[in-house]
Amino acid sequence: QGFFLVSCREAFMRVCEHAFKMGKIFSMTLSAKYICDDPIGVRLLSALPYADVVFGYEDEARVLAKTQLRVQSTSLHAVLEAIRDTPKWNRDRPRVVVVTKIPERTTVATVDGIKEYKWKKPSKIIDTHGCGDALAGGFLAYLALGKNIDQCANAGLYCAYENLQQLGCQFPAKPSYNG
């Protein structure tokens, strides 16, 4: 989504506003370090108040926190707390921040705190492209089903695990997730 924010900010902001007005869950990705950094990061920061769920990689989150939120600490927890606690339009739905370091861990910040989830490493990684998208898809699918954050994170991790073993963003013919 961050790439869309760069190419057509007005349309992106209309989507943000529509989701807010209609009470829909709005998620966004940090997309790339250069999108989180100056000068583009200011655009990302303008969309952040609409975000219910923010996905990204640890390095992207650190850049956003340092350059846009002015966080002095390099602690991952301080970075996640800063993103989680950034002002939000819909205060009835606290923000969830999900950041990943492939294929080591995914860390999730909620109002209840910060929790780390270890990745199950496949014996052979074929391709990492689409892995973050697969994680976000599994997480959001379970969120839409009303599952708790642990279940959402585990569903996302399963999707990412399967994706790492495929070429491109694919899954096996017969998934084996029973979460």
pTM over 0.85: yes
What is the domain partition of the chain in residue ranges?
Answer: 2-118, 120-178
pLDDT (tens digit, 9 = 90+) per residue, 6-56? 888 899 999 999 999 999 999 999 989 999 998 889 989 999 999 999 999
Phi, psi of 99 (to 5 degrees): -120, 150
List pLDDT tens digits, range 60-89.
999 999 999 999 998 999 999 999 999 999
Q: Which of 59, 85, 127, 133 is catalytic?
A: 133
Fold topology of 2-118 = UDP-N-acetylmuramoyl-L-alanine:D-glutamate ligase (3.40.1190)
Predicted confidence (pLDDT) per residue in 107-137, tens digit: 999 999 999 999 988 889 998 888 899 999 9
Cα–Cα distance measured from residue 154 to residue 73, given in angstroms and rounded to the nearest whole number: 29
- Average pLDDT, whole number, for the chain? 92
- The alpha carbons of the chain give a radius of gyration, in whole angstroms, of 16
- Indicate if 127 belongs to the active site: no
